[in-house]
Amino acid sequence: MNRLLYIQRMMKLLVLAAPLLFSSCSDLLENDNEFFHVATQEQQWNSLTDTRSAMFGVYGLMRTALGENNTFWATGDLRMGDFTVRTRSDLQAIRDNKLDSPFENIKKISDWTRFYKVINAACLFIEKAKEVVEKDPAYSEVNYTYDAAQVRVIRALAYFYMVRMWGDVPLITYSYDNGSFPKVARTDAGIVLNYVISELREAAKLLPEQLGATSDKYYGFDANTWRGVLLNRYSAYTILAHVEAWRGNYIDADIYSAQVLDKVPDFIKTIEVLTTTSNLVSSKGIFYDDYNADYRAARLVSFNYKYTSNQINEVGTDGHLESWTLAEPIVRKQLPDIYLSKDTLVNMFMSGYTSDNRFGLNDLTTPVAYYENYITGLSLEYPIFSKIQVVTGSENGSHNLGVYSSSIIFSRLTDMQLLRAEALVILNRVSDALSLLNELRDMRNLPSLSYAKNLDSDPKKLLKEIFQERRRELIGEGHRWYDRIREARIVGDDWEMMTLINNGGIYWPVSENVMRENPAIEQNDYWKR
């Protein structure tokens, strides 16, 4: 058998056979298999090793829940978004919001079981880990406090994600045997979000600004190891800001986003990745989970993969946007599955301004050429969305294996910046909102906007500019679908989306498997057709 083909097949088998678990950037986490272990009911909760591995296991389960079947991007970017599907009927069905189509990946995305695996593991940790403080002197009360708080944040995020996907979902706050999911009915989404907010607020009180920043460090490592890898106080505030914006509570959305933007350590605010587009899109930039702690620090909430020789199971062709968007010459794939059409690119990036350094005209070159930061291969029929391109497993730089290890970033500092601008407009603080917007526009080589001259002193026009900037800046980062919903709710001129909101069509159908296993669950009304 051809050696390369053999390696490819073995990698595929390893990816399929092993759970997708969390890893950090340190050598210890690369080489200590005890960190890659999901807790079970049968586990002996006796030592620091047990609790440590169980906590990292919760991170891993959340990463899998988001990455499996490319859920994070299918739900956030592809559904009625900006990407065009080339030939795949299953992806086209998601793009067209035909979520009752009989495609296997749609059925899998519609199954919320993987999120409840996260929740169950989190509940189990909270119930059991406390016992270890008494059993193992190496596991301190401080350790438990920080560990349990992180787990509570992940559990809260899982519920928030499910509410955005399905609306009402069962609220379960205790562990259960993995083979016997409680047969309980769905809980009103408002009640679930109240629980999410309560958990995040409590966790924020318990978490430090930076794990490992004290003299005793955290699991023996300083803050550089854990930045952008584990969740901290600002991570909790970040999720709170998103939850409150989703609920339309912009007073609190402003408060929490301000906590992040105003109080996050200055070195994080000023790192180069926040000001340089080329660093943002670099294959060794913010989406790359490796040794550059500065870049990673801008990730407020993320779940990470790493390619290493002994953790090969953590990477693959599933769970990464690159598996849909990349093609030759970046990887050995003839054509992408999805792409941004040239008409879409012009509409997004060149409506009124042509200098955007993410995609625009670079008049410093002779002849004038396009910036190719977000997009490469403009001469091709299908331009390549190359903003995220963390490709590993290459031989001599050829990327023969086409293996990806990019991080899923739920939120980064720029997201918070624009979310706060959105909140400030609602709160009638347009000057502050415009300042935040123009700060980012300056980073991306766009002229500042005048509220009177460019926006006719109209707050709705400012809001639309903010959402348009979110569309440009955050494309491929899982925000577009949810941004469209929020924009429709507060601006009110997207009649297609408003119709879906009013009819419950913004939610996903519930998997038949879920309803078969739990007769207390009914299908969402919109999908009962």
Instruction: Please name which of 385, 391, 388 lies closest in space to residue 403, comparing C-alpha atoms.
Output: 391
What does the alpha-carbon distance between residue 459 and residue 199 come to, in Å, rounded to a whole number?
34
Buried b (16+ CB within 10 A) or exposed e, 389-411: bbbbbeeeeebebbbbbbbbbbb
Measured in residues, the chain has a length of 529
Name residues whose C-beta falls within 8 Å of residue 10's C-beta, 6 or more positions apart in sequence. Answer: none
Tell me whether residue 477 is in a domain: no
What pLDDT, on the 0 to 100 scale, is given for residue 503?
A: 96
Six-digit token string for 311: 């953790």
Cα 373 from Cα 335, distance rounded (Å): 19
pLDDT tens digit string along 146-189?
A: 999 999 999 999 999 999 999 999 999 999 876 678 899 999 99
Query: What are the phi and psi torsion angles at 523 (to 5°)?
Result: -70, 145
| Total structural domains within the chain | 1
* Residue 158 and residue 121 in contact, taking contact as beta carbons nearer than 8 Å: no
Residue 340 within a domain: no
Range of the domain at 159: 18-323
Q: Does residue 240 fall inside a structural domain?
A: yes
Specify if 331 maps to a domain.
Answer: no
Q: What is the pLDDT of residue 362?
A: 84
Residue 116 lies in a domain: yes
Per the listing, tokens 């800046």 go with: 473
What is the spatial distance between Cα 121 and Cα 142, in angstroms, rounded to a whole number? 21
CA nearest to 411, candidates 308, 294, 313, 300? 300
The encoded tokens of residue 447 equal 């002229």
The phi and psi torsions of 362 (rounded to 5 degrees) equal: -95, 100
Residues 80-126 have pLDDT tens digits of: 999 999 999 999 999 999 999 999 999 999 999 999 999 999 999 99
- Cα 456 to chain centroid distance, Å, stands at 35
Q: Which two tokens stand for residue 150?
A: 């992180």
| Single pTM value for the model | 0.90
Let me know if residue 173 belongs to a domain. Answer: yes
* Local confidence pLDDT in tens for the 529 residues of the chain: 333 333 333 333 323 333 333 333 333 333 334 444 455 555 679 999 999 999 999 999 999 999 999 999 999 999 999 999 999 999 999 999 999 999 999 999 999 999 999 999 999 999 999 999 999 999 999 999 999 999 999 999 999 999 999 999 999 999 987 667 889 999 999 999 999 999 999 999 999 999 998 888 898 888 888 888 899 999 999 999 999 999 999 999 999 999 999 988 776 777 666 678 988 898 888 898 765 666 788 899 999 876 443 333 444 556 899 999 999 888 888 999 999 999 999 999 988 888 999 999 887 777 778 888 999 988 899 999 999 998 875 444 455 556 788 899 999 999 999 999 999 999 999 999 999 999 999 999 999 999 999 999 999 999 999 999 999 999 999 999 999 999 999 999 999 999 999 999 999 999 999 999 999 999 999 999 7
Q: If you search the block for the tokens 């002193």, which residue do you land on?
A: 457
CATH number at residue 317: 1.25.40.390
